[in-house]
Amino acid sequence: MTARAAIIGGSGYTGGELLRILLDHPEIEVAQVTSRQHLGEYVYQVHPNLRKRTSLKFSDPETLAAVDVLFLALPHGQAQKQIDRYTQLAATIIDLSADFRLRSPAAYEHWYGSAHGSSAWLDQFVYGLPELHRQELRHAHLASGVGCNAAATILALLPLTQADLIDRTQPIIVEIKVGSSEGGAEGNPGSHHPERSGVVRTYSRFGHRHTAEVIQELGLENITLTMTSVDLVRGSLATAHAWVRAGVTSKDIWKAYRQLASENPFLRVVKETRGIYRIPEPKVLAGSNYADLGFDLDEDSQHIVAMCAIDNLMKGAAGSAVQCMNLMLGFEETAGLDFPGLHPI
């Protein structure tokens, strides 16, 4: 059984990554990819990796035909305007923008600065991180994507929250280092290569919108996400500082990590004592859906540094979205997501 899929907003980085995955997905036929800006161009003219892989051209989003599954990869704020229309076109929808990640209209308004345009739909969506909502996704028709930094942060802390190891009276500080693809395919003065090359730019100290997802999904209130751009295209590393409860030992923490990794096909624990790659690092994850997790505990102070590395376009966007689709449509959870990444890169 093959499902027919369409991608709205296929010329951006997330759209292109969805397309790369779906073109090789054993259960999917890509019916349509839209782009207003590149209407009529071959998709490989924008995404040069897909040359000789498809003769699809970008089509007009207004002429979208019905499909089994619809991926929305539009700029934030667009999906909420047309969600009624989209639900007429496909039984299964995954929206990769920020429009349907939060359940609470008030939270949306607080973090995004204006009222949600279709707030009645908010509680119809499942937050699209399978490591949190695998069972719900198996029965869902609507899923959101994830914020890439939210995904890295949630997965960095998930072993600790699931096993209830964190001292919630203490602050949690998450320092996230990100590559340039996180800003999307449209350039800006700060993304011009002479200005962006070699950069170490702490561009958001407080109040990053992805914080809202972490608060919603992990129930942590006293948490700060601080974002620093570094010289990398794909990748996000979350380094989370927290404190574990009195009495919690390294052994307890190891157990929590191992259990989570054993239950989730794309989670790996990286904590080696030799070699170059002893801890999670994003560069070797480019193109892969893995999230690499690690930690270090200072036993004197119960201060823990929990790390998660991902490819922001994969586990932080398109990869998690396809993983959700696999669950929603009853496919193998890992279908289409088998690229392991490269070494060296």
| Nearest residue to 133 (alpha-carbon basis) of 101, 181, 164 | 101
Q: Do the Cβ atoms of 17 and 314 come closer than 8 Å? A: yes
**Closest separation in Å from C-beta 204 to a copy of itself:** 9
148 is catalytic: yes
Instruction: Determine how many CB atoms are found less than 10 A away from the CB of residue 305.
Output: 16
The catalytically annotated residue of 70, 74, 148, 284 is 148
| CB-based contact 269:294 (threshold 8 Å) | yes
Return d(Cα 179, Cα 336) in angstroms, integer. Answer: 24
- 65: tokens are 């035909």
Report residue 271 as tokens. 């904590």
Site for a copy of itself in 203-222 (CB under 8 A): 203, 205-207
Judged by CB under 8 A, the chain residues 290 through 329 that form the site for a copy of itself are 290, 292, 296, 298, 303, 305, 307, 309
Sign, Cα dihedral of 72, 179, 253, 243: negative
Question: Which of 91, 104, 224, 252: binder of a copy of itself (CB under 8 A)?
Answer: 224
The string of DSSP codes covering 318-342 is IHHHHHHHHHHTT--TTTT------
Q: Examine residue 198 and tell whether it contacts a copy of itself (CB under 8 A).
A: yes
Residue placing its CB nearer to a copy of itself in the complex, 145 or 235: 235
Residue (123 or 298) nearer to a copy of itself, CB: 298
Does residue number 180 form part of the binding site for a copy of itself (CB under 8 A)?
A: yes
Q: Is 287 in the site for a copy of itself (CB under 8 A)?
A: yes
Interface characters, 136-165, with a copy of itself (x: CB under 8 A): ------------------------------
Preceding omega of 61 cis (within 30 degrees of 0):
no
Which residue number, 118 or 170, has a Cβ lying nearer to a copy of itself? 170
239 counts as binding a copy of itself under rule CB under 8 A: yes
| Structure tokens belonging to residue 298 | 């200072």
Judged by CB under 8 A, does residue 276 bind a copy of itself?
yes
Q: Least separation, in Å, of the C-beta of 254 and a copy of itself?
A: 16
Residue 188 touching a copy of itself (CB under 8 A): yes
Question: Does residue 39 belong to the site contacting a copy of itself (CB under 8 A)?
Answer: no
173 touching a copy of itself, by CB under 8 A: yes
Q: Interaction with a copy of itself in 244-273: which residues (CB under 8 A)?
A: 268, 270, 272
Name the minimum Å distance from CB 190 to a copy of itself: 5
Contact 225, 208 (CB under 8 A): yes
CA angle at 166 for the pair 165 and 167, rounded to the nearest 5°: 125
Which residue has tokens 């890295």? 152
Contact at 8 Å (CB) between 270 and 293?
A: yes
Count residues binding a copy of itself (CB under 8 A).
91
Stretch that binds a copy of itself, among 117-125, 135-143, 153-161, 228-236 (CB under 8 A): 228-236
Catalytic residue list: 148
